[in-house]
């Protein structure tokens, strides 16, 4: 696919459009105190912004091959945009208290994040994002 075709860049507009939609809904919603409905914009932005760093880091060449595939980038863009505007309850890292029982999901996510940063370097960002969504789906934050 030629990179100079402007129509191929059109899916990149999904991210800011989803961000605007999410921000408008977030500003009107009074329920999102200790959990989020959909992925927060900074988390989505970090994932997208980390991809060039993942690509240029010293990791497996197979990962680079996936990131050079435009359809993979379209899929990542679509998934991240969908997760931003979805109403899936996702954990917030706001602690009500520091007890292990009421914050198990947050401590698991922090442990995964710490291990990922130590062992995966820049690849840790998308891994932590995926872990964030999965831990949120497993523990389903209380409303």
Each residue's pLDDT tens digit, 100-132: 887 888 899 999 999 999 999 899 999 999 999
Domain ranges of the chain: 6-139
Cβ atoms 133, 89 nearer than 8 A: no
Q: Using CA atoms, how far apart are residues 105 and 41, in angstroms rounded to an integer? A: 20
How many angstroms from the chain centroid is the CA of residue 85?
12
Backbone phi and psi for residue 40, each to the nearest 5 degrees, phi listed first = -65, 150
Q: In the prediction, which pLDDT does 63 show?
A: 84
Taking alpha carbons only, the member of 107, 115, 139, 128 closest to residue 50 is 128
- Higher-pLDDT residue of 46 and 11 is 46
Residue 13 tokens read as: 């507009």
Q: In the prediction, which pLDDT does 27 show?
A: 80
Q: What share of the chain is helix, strand, coil (3-state, %, to 5)?
A: 70, 5, 25
Taking alpha carbons only, the member of 123, 130, 132 closest to residue 51 is 123
The reported pTM is 0.84
Each residue's pLDDT tens digit, 6-44: 777 888 899 999 999 998 888 887 776 668 889 999 999
2 pLDDT above the threshold of 80 = no
| DSSP character string of 47-73 | HHHHHHHHHHSS--HHHHHHHH-HHHH
């Amino acid at each position: 696919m030629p990179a100079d075709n402007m129509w191929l860049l059109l899916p990149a507009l999904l991210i800011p459009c989803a961000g605007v939609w999410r921000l408008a809904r977030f500003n009107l919603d009074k329920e999102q105190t200790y959990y989020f409905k959909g992925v927060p914009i900074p988390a989505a932005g970090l994932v997208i912004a980390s991809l060039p760093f993942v690509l240029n880091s010293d990791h497996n060449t197979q990962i680079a091959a996936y990131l050079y595939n435009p359809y993979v980038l379209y899929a990542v863009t679509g998934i991240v945009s969908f997760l931003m505007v979805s109403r899936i309850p996702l954990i917030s890292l706001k602690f009500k208290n520091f007890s292990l029982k009421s914050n198990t999901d947050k401590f698991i996510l922090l442990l995964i994040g710490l291990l990922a940063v130590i062992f995966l370097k820049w690849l840790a960002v998308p891994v932590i994002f995926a872990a964030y969504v999965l831990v949120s789906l497993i523990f389903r934050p209380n409303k």
